[in-house]
């Protein structure tokens, strides 16, 4: 691995994603990407007695399927890098407890999907492990209860509000020794904290947009690439409010995003015309994870895409900081992925 500029790691060994899994709840299973998910639960309860236990089950299911799809057993896994939105990242920790691999818990709110992938890839690229797993999860009822209002409360939400995805995504990364095929991880750009003073937890898209724009700008500055290098650049999760703001900020920076397709995971996982309850679109750790490890990796494997940049965004508030009137610091982490069929 070598550092490019101030914020980007280039993985010269091109670690390979040899197996991944995306597991979701019933509402995500009714969306346009349903055929790309590995498993769809038919109820939010998932047979458990609490929402938190349901989220843990969701995470454990995606871990087991990712290992199965990678063709390795639990005992072969040498690192587990994961996190979630719960206090003390309990979903990731309890899922890691079941696997029994050395564990690094990370928290980047909804940016955790790419934060964990970046760290796991760095471990593999540096020779610290043969197999590392990156993953995250969220559950609509756990997150709404913790950060806003319990679902049962039935509160009215503003047009800027996003809908937390019930989903989990995991990927198994290994050294690129030429014996295993799959999408490759080429670089990661680690974001800086951005805080423009917004305090509204029902307007996450606007709060996170500056962080997404800053990390995308840093990625192209550090690598010397342009947006046209990628077939797709996708953020997660800015939704319908944040994505236009990010586009405007990038235009002011002179980044020619018109060279490529620029979209957002929060606008891809649901059908907003039919599933009107999602309002501005999706959010949650499980959103960018399920879209990336389900839909996007399948498009890379099929050759529909050759190079993509996934820019996961996170709002780093807590219930305590919100109650004390603090503003919302945000961060975005970007990971570049290639189909594996060609060199950079």
At residue 276 the predicted structure's pLDDT band, cuts being 50, 70 and 90, is very high
151 has pLDDT over 70: no
Which sequence spans correspond to the domains of the chain?
2-174, 184-338
343 has pLDDT over 50: no
**Exposed, middle or buried by CB within 10 Å (0-12, 13-18, 19+), for 200?**
middle
pLDDT of 152 reads 66
8 Å CB contact between 204 and 283: yes
Euclidean distance between the first and the last CA atom of the chain, given in angstroms as a whole number = 15
Length of the chain: 344
From the options 3.90.1310.10, 3.40.47.40, 3.30.1330.40, 3.40.50.2020, give the CATH code of 184-338. Answer: 3.40.47.40
Per the structure block, which two tokens stand in for 280? 């501005």
At residue 154 the predicted structure's pLDDT band, cuts being 50, 70 and 90, is low
d(CA 91, CA 124): 24
Q: What is the pTM of this model?
A: 0.96
- Average pLDDT estimate for 42-71: 97
**Exposed, middle or buried by CB within 10 Å (0-12, 13-18, 19+), for 145?**
middle
340 has pLDDT over 90: no
342 has pLDDT over 70: no
CATH code of the region 2-174: 3.40.47.40
| Domains 2-174 and 184-338 equal at CATH topology level | yes
Q: Which of 50, 30, 51 is nearest to 40 (CA)?
A: 30
- Average pLDDT estimate for 14-36: 98
Residue 333 β-bridge partners: 312
pLDDT in tens, 178-190: 888 899 999 999 9
Per the structure block, which two tokens stand in for 193? 């904290």
Per the structure block, which two tokens stand in for 52? 């938190």
196 has pLDDT over 50: yes
């Amino acid at each position: 691995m070598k550092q490019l500029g101030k914020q980007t790691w280039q993985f010269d060994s091109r670690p390979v994603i040899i197996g991944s899994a995306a597991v979701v709840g019933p509402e995500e299973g009714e969306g346009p990407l349903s055929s790309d998910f590995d498993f769809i639960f038919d109820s939010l309860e998932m047979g458990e007695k609490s929402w938190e236990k349901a989220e843990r089950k969701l995470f454990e299911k995606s871990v087991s399927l990712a290992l199965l799809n990678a063709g390795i057993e639990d005992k072969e896994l040498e690192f587990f890098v994961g996190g979630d939105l719960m206090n003390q990242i309990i979903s990731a920790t309890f899922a890691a407890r079941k696997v029994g691999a050395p564990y690094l818990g990370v928290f980047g709110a909804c940016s955790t999907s790419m934060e964990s992938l970046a760290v796991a890839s760095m471990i593999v690229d540096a020779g610290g492990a043969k197999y590392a797993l990156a993953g995250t999860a969220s559950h609509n009822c756990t997150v709404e209860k913790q950060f806003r209002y319990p679902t049962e409360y039935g509160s009215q939400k503003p047009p800027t509000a996003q809908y937390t995805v019930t989903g989990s995504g995991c990927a198994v990364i290994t050294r690129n020794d030429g014996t295993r095929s799959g999408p490759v991880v080429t670089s990661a750009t680690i974001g800086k904290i951005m805080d423009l003073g917004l305090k509204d937890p029902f307007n996450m898209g606007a709060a996170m947009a500056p962080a997404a724009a800053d990390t995308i700008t840093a990625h192209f500055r550090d690598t010397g690439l342009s947006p046209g290098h990628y077939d797709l650049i996708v953020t997660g999760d800015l939704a319908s409010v944040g994505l236009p703001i990010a586009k405007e900020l990038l235009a002011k920076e002179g980044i020619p995003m018109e060279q490529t397709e620029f979209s957002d995971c929060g606008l891809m996982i649901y059908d907003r015309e039919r599933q009107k309850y999602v309002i501005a679109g999706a959010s949650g750790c499980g959103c960018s994870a399920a879209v990336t490890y389900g839909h996007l990796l399948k498009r890379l494997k099929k050759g529909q895409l050759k190079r993509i940049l996934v820019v996961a965004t996170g709002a780093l508030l807590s219930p305590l900081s919100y109650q004390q009137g603090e503003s919302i610091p945000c961060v975005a982490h970007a990971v570049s992925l290639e189909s594996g069929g060609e060199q950079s």
